[in-house]
Chain A
Amino acid sequence: MLARRLRDPIVRAMPLSSIDLGLGRGACVVVAMSGGVDSSVTAALLAEAGYEVVGVTLQLYAAGGPRRRPGACCAGEDIYDARRVADRLGIRHYVLDYEQRFREAVMDDFADSYLRGETPIPCVRCNERVKFRDLLDLARDLGADALATGHYARRVEGTAGPELHRALDGTRDQSYFLFATTQEQLAFLRFPLGTLPKAQVRAEAARLGLAVAEKPDSQDICFVPEGRYAGVIERLRPGAAEPGAIVDREGRVLGRHRGIIHFTVGQRRGLGIAWPEPLYVLAVDAARREVVVGPRAALLRDRVRTGPLAWIGTDAPALGEERAVTARLRSSHPGAPARVTPAADGSATVSLEEPEPATAPGQACVLYEGERLLGGGWIGGTGQSDALAAASRDTAPAAHVAAA
């Protein structure tokens, strides 16, 4: 269905003047410009559509390399690229030093989360605590009518206010990272790329003569170069990565590891243990500095416990009631049919129709109804229903796994 839509020439040839933010012509829109192709095209399309665009680039962390010096301002190629795009578009552009705020609100949390044995998603924290809070406040202070970002997600006007939907290009959808957005923030936010395929975004960048048209896509986590997150954590929390044991579910020591931060639930590679069957990380026990491993069958879960659930533009089901949803347990997870049951304290239990490999604490469980994102919460732990536990008893004994 989606693939057919992408091939549909009508979608591809959609004229750009169709960028309509639902604001008056000439409205002032602040665009969060990272220096990447997506936010650059966002700014360009809005400027072309006649909006008064103000570009803002946040300097979030010290760019690496020997040329970086303490006190140096405006470091980093991405900031340079954002400036040059803004110059090319002839829009106002500001670079703000958010290093300290980003470190406190995102990076420290990222490191501490790993040290607790979790696998965090700093992008959600960044949206929640930096972009959609401080930057959004700034946009309002400047008298702007909206804040636009290059996220691949759609904001749809619903009968009860704006709704958040998956991007039309499902392969690029980033709505998962936006689950913590509040209704009030969403009212002010715009995601103009949500209806465009990535290929078209690159084509637009080339058509508009933006130097970033050929720039590679950004890293999964912007402040972690080439996925080497362990090095970042060791820099933030020196000496925190202590070695420990790799154990099976019965607690038998199978090997040693260099520190729990190198492991995430579901991981198979890098265990360094020769074993007759493939071993997976089942749990990370920070208190004991243990990595618990076992066969793939032992990884299966059909219950997810979440922290407080945030709902966007819809009421939570009443206590004791449940709601049928599609649950995504990782950003790469397409979603699985599930039922969500809220608890009195705002947390919830998500029951999956079919078991899924366990997800690490620190990831998010994001709930959809079709294309629409209903809300989500942080995953506190996963478990097995009695039926699943019984079914997998032969292969997956004793779940001393669902800690956290």
Chain B
Amino acid sequence: MSEAGPIYLDYNATAPVKPAVVDAVAETMLLAGNPSSVHGFGRDVRRRIEDARERIAALLGCAPPELVFTAGGTEANNTALRGAGRRALIVSAIEHPAILRTAEVVADDLVVLPVDGEGVLDLGALDAALAAHGADALVSVMLANNETGVIQPVAEIAARAQAAGALVHCDAVQAPGRIPVSFAALGVDMMSIAAHKFAGPKGIGALVVRAGLDIAPLVTGGGQERGLRGGTENAAGIAGFGAAAALAADDLARAGEIAVMRDGMEARLRETEPDVVVFSAGAPRLPNTSCLTMPGVQSETQVMGLDLAGVAVSAGSACSSGKVEASHVLRALGASDAVGGCAIRVSMGWATTEDEIERFLGAWRALYAGLTNRWKAGVSAAAG
């Protein structure tokens, strides 16, 4: 237990909200109207939603009408994969389960593309898949990976896919506020984001749908969101989403500083233990993410041990914590269970301080020293 309060280093799971986000949510929640109503109460809420849409569109480099609000990244991914109506799906091996599990259910033909040892998509494999499926296919590749932070060459992927007649979707939920994101520059047809990854509320996200692209809605109803997402809008959540988007530029301005902090942390852990493995370190990576091993110590033990020491990190995606195996992402990078099963993810963000990283280093070293001492004692007891 830490006297100085717990340390949060799990921003890729969800980032703590900023006070201005809470204010925007509270103010909008107090408004009585239904945004679809004709009267003044309705118009007040409608205005908040459209203000937010413009702010988010500005952050993402898309036109406001291209933004369809959903109940988060998973729903946005489902809408894209199910709504595009393509019979073949081409995805990378390191996609989030929201893509992989959905693709398994939706696709008549599913192609899972390999990545190299750093986690970067194999473009040759993409070309081969496009040659086989081309105009029947939807390609879905994430912009930045949630576990290692590796960034994919999405613009290049989109160009190749569209040349072959395929549609392209990009799961970009980990990117906003960490690296610049431009829907227009990426050139994809659809893109998913989630507010809570950059200090917005949980349970609100969006699918950007290129103007002119016709997809089927996942949720039908009263025609909201241009008929692409029925149901009364989550107005308070959208307002918070907008507030977070407006503040995301501040995070981007700090990204270089966070990368220095992250790199310093990795360097110092390798000084402590040269066998520490950092995944995707040789590729373009999110500045805030580090996926690294504590040699010989299972991920679950580290996550619990650090939690008991007041430091919050995670292993793999939240639901697979506890499995004694490498995550599907680290396996795709070629990691053995022995190495990948000892990885944790440290992810930083807008409120992370140098002091917190110092204390994380202290907790990591204490946990590792305690375990290695116990192993040595066990070995000498066995020998004696």
Contact = CB atoms under 8 A, between A and B. Distances in A.
A141 B367 CA distance: 8
B139 to A, nearest CB: 24
Contacts of B304: 54, 94, 138, 142
Nearest to B319: A73
A334 interface: no
- Give chain B's interface secondary structure class: helix
B300 A96 contact: yes
Given A96-B300, A140-B374, A141-B371, A73 B320 contact: yes
Contacts of B101: 71
A71 B321 CA distance: 12
Given A71-B97, A71-B101, A96-B300, A143 B323 contact: no
Given A71-B101, A140-B374, A143-B370, A97 B308 contact: no
B307 A92 contact: yes
Interface string B293-331: 000010011001101100000000001111110000000
Interface in B187-238: none
A395 interface: no
A74 B320 CA distance: 10
B275 to A, nearest CB: 18
A256 interface: no
Interface string B364-382: 0000001100100000000
B308 A92 contact: yes
Contacts of B308: 28, 54, 92, 142-143
Q: How large is the interface on A (under 10, 10 to 19, 20 to 34, 35 or more residues)?
A: 10 to 19
Contacts of B307: 92, 94
A96 B300 CA distance: 8
Contacts of B319: 71, 73-74
A141 B301 contact: yes
Given A140-B374, A141-B371, A143-B370, A96 B322 contact: yes
Nearest to B381: A184
B231 to A, nearest CB: 24
Nearest to A72: B319
Contacts of B374: 140-141
Contact of A142 (B97, B305, B320, B321): B305
A100 interface: yes
A226 B320 CA distance: 30
Interface in B57-104: 97, 101
Q: How large is the interface on B (under 10, 10 to 19, 20 to 34, 35 or more residues)?
A: 10 to 19
Nearest to A70: B101
A372 interface: no
A141 B307 CA distance: 13
A101 interface: yes
A62 interface: no
B305 A101 contact: no
Contacts of A28: 308
Interface string A66-108: 0000010110000000000000000010111110110000000
Interface in A266-295: none
Interface string B321-350: 111100000000000000000000000000
Contact of A141 (B97, B305, B320, B322): B305
Contact of A101 (B97, B324, B371): B324
A97 B315 CA distance: 13
A163 B300 CA distance: 32
Contacts of A98: 322
Contacts of A73: 319-320
Nearest to B101: A71
Interface of B: 97, 101, 297, 300-301, 304-305, 307-308, 319-324, 370-371, 374
10 contacts: A73-B319, A73-B320, A96-B322, A97-B321, A97-B323, A100-B323, A140-B374, A141-B301, A142-B305, A142-B308
Q: Which 3 A-B residue pairs are closest in the complex by CB-CB distance? A: A97-B322, A73-B319, A96-B322
Given A94-B300, A141-B305, A143-B308, 15 more contacts: A54-B308, A59-B322, A74-B319, A94-B304, A97-B322, A101-B324, A138-B300, A138-B301, A138-B304, A141-B301, A141-B371, A142-B305, A142-B308, A143-B305, A143-B370
